[in-house]
Amino acid sequence: MANNTSNSQKQTRGTSRRAVLGGMAATGAVLAAPARLWAQDATLRWWSPQASPAQLAAYQTQIGLFEAANPGVKVAFEKTSDEGYQPQLAAAFASGEVPNIVTHLPSFAVSDYWSNGLLEAFNEVIEAVGPEKYYRGANDIYEIDRGVYAGTGIGNSAANMLWIRKDLMEKAGIEKIPETWDELRSAAQKMQGGGIYGAPLPYAKNSMTTLTIIGFIHLAGGQVFTPDLQVALDSDETRNALEFYKSMREFCPPGATNYSWGESLTAFVSGATATGIYTGRVLINVNDQNPAIADYVTCATYPRISADVAPWTFNDFPSVFIPKAAGNMDATKKFAASLYDGAGYIQQLHAAPGHVLPVLKTVAEDPAYLDNPIIQKYTPEVDLMSSSAAAGHNLGWESPEHKPNVKAGAIVGSGVLAEMVQRIVLNDEDTTKVINETSTAIEEIMLS
Strand partners, 45: 76
Strand partners, 48: 79
Confidence of residue 342 (pLDDT cuts 50, 70, 90): confident
pLDDT score at 86: 87
Tens-digit pLDDT profile for residues 156-196: 999 999 999 999 999 999 999 999 999 999 999 999 999 99
Tens-digit pLDDT profile for residues 366-422: 999 999 999 999 999 999 999 999 889 999 999 989 998 999 999 999 999 999 999
pLDDT score at 40: 60
Average pLDDT score, the chain: 91
CATH 3.40.30.10 fits 2-157+315-377, yes or no: no
Residues 6+ positions from 341 with CB-CB distance below 8 Å: 62, 65
Provide the whole-model pTM: 0.84
Domain with CATH 3.40.190.10 in the chain: 2-157+315-377, 161-312+400-447
Q: How far is CA 444 from CA 110, 118, 404, in A?
A: 21, 22, 18
Tens-digit pLDDT profile for residues 25-79: 333 334 444 444 445 689 999 999 999 999 999 999 999 999 999 999 999 999 9
User: The domain 161-312+400-447 is classified under which CATH number: 3.40.190.10, 1.20.144.10, 3.90.1150.10, 2.40.128.130?
Assistant: 3.40.190.10
d(CA 185, CA 304): 11
Length of the chain: 448
Position 105, amino acid: L
- Residue 227 pLDDT more than 90? yes
- Residue 319 pLDDT more than 70? yes
Whether the Cβ atoms of residue 417 and residue 407 lie closer than 8 Å to each other? no
**Mean pLDDT across the stretch 340-361?**
94
Q: How many CB atoms sit inside 10 A of residue 123's CB? A: 23
